[in-house]
Amino acid sequence: MALLENLVLVFVAGLVTALATGLGALPFFVVDDFSDRWNVALWGLASGIMVAASLFGLINEGLAYTSGGVPTLMVGGLLAGVVLVEVADRALDAVDIGGDEDAHDSHRDAGPRHDADRGSDGDERDGAVHADGGHGDHAMEAEAFAEGDLKKLVLILGILTVHSFPEGVAVGVSFAELGLEGGVPVLGFTVPLLAVFMTAAISIHNVPEGLAISIPMRAMDVSKWRMVGAAVFSSLPQPIGAVIAFAFVRWAESFLPFGFGFAAGAMIYLVATEFVPEALETGEDLPGDGYKELLAGLAVGIAAMVPLMYV
């Protein structure tokens, strides 16, 4: 019974990260325009938090479980995390669903940029899709939701399972010490501080991810609540990945260093290859190409996390 309760808690934590993706669509309920400046800063904040949690949380925990002073399992986990993300990216690149090129072209044309779309500070307004295909990675999902294409949505969910699995794994592994001393009380459970931070980090990352999904849907006049649903849908595999990872590290405690390393490797590689490029693509029309906003977000995220990791 205790194991079942733990699994439910981990699933709920993963579900929270998925629901956070829906927050990215909420700005369109109250405003017509959304500043790229804040979006880039939010990507930077999420990246800073995740890198700090990985370096000072997951890797530290992995080293603590290493015996003999040689972190072979943890290093192997780091490499395995990198390989999984790279393989997932290549698998996504290889997927071709009929009509994608037309969809991408229509989304490129759907959001032409004019001077009127910019604020006085040079931010791009009106959620316009970049002329070079910015946000194009989410166009396929946007089109499927707009058309209500069930077959395409099922295929996309399978793709998203591969894409979101590392983030769910990070949440699940961070709960490895659930119930042990040194955690914080949450709903009658003693939750590791690392799990709280990792859940928050993935949730914060999912907000701009949800916004990026919503932008092309807005250009297609999709309803606001359907945008929220699409954003949450994109992260539904995360609670499943969290439960699987948690069950594995609790069942095979000797592999804990591998699990911590795996989650850290996947998170850091995701930040380097997806989050930062996404932020820079979003901010390419800002003064300085968005580097200032990105670095500010990174600095705030790291500065906020590091002291808390050593409380």
Higher pLDDT, 164 or 309: 164
169's torsion region: left (phi>0), alpha (psi -120 to 50) or beta? alpha
pLDDT for res 153: 61
How many angstroms separate the first and last alpha carbons of the chain?
32
Domain hosting residue 25, numbered range:
2-309
Tally of domains in the chain: 1
Determine how many CB atoms are found less than 10 A away from the CB of residue 191. 21
Per cent of the chain over pLDDT 90 is 5
Asked if residue 12 has pLDDT above 90, the reply is yes
Q: What is the pLDDT of residues 103-162, one digit of tens each?
A: 444 433 433 333 434 443 444 433 333 333 334 445 556 566 666 655 666 666 666 666
Cα–Cα distance, 214 to 208 (Å, whole number): 10
**How deeply is 219 buried, as exposed, middle or buried, from its count of CB atoms within 10 A (0-12, 13-18, 19+)?**
buried
Integer-rounded Cα radius of gyration of the chain? 20
Please provide residue 185's backbone torsions phi and psi, each rounded to the nearest 5 degrees.
Answer: -75, 125
**Average pLDDT for the chain:** 75
Cα–Cα distance, 155 to 149 (Å, whole number): 10
Asked if residue 97 has pLDDT above 60, the reply is no
- Report long-range pairs for 5-10 (Cβ below 8 Å, ≥24 apart): 5/189, 6/175, 6/178, 6/179, 6/189, 6/246, 6/250, 7/243, 7/246, 7/247, 9/175, 9/178, 9/186, 9/187, 9/189, 9/191, 10/171, 10/172, 10/175, 10/178, 10/239, 10/242, 10/243, 10/246
Determine how many CB atoms are found less than 10 A away from the CB of residue 221. 8
In this prediction, residues 215-224 reach a mean pLDDT of 73
Q: Which candidate, 274, 147, 302, places its Cα nearest to that of 206?
A: 274
Q: What is the pLDDT of residues 83-93, one digit of tens each?
A: 888 887 777 67
Q: What is the pLDDT of residues 148-183, one digit of tens each?
A: 655 666 666 666 666 677 788 888 888 988 877 667
pLDDT for res 145: 61
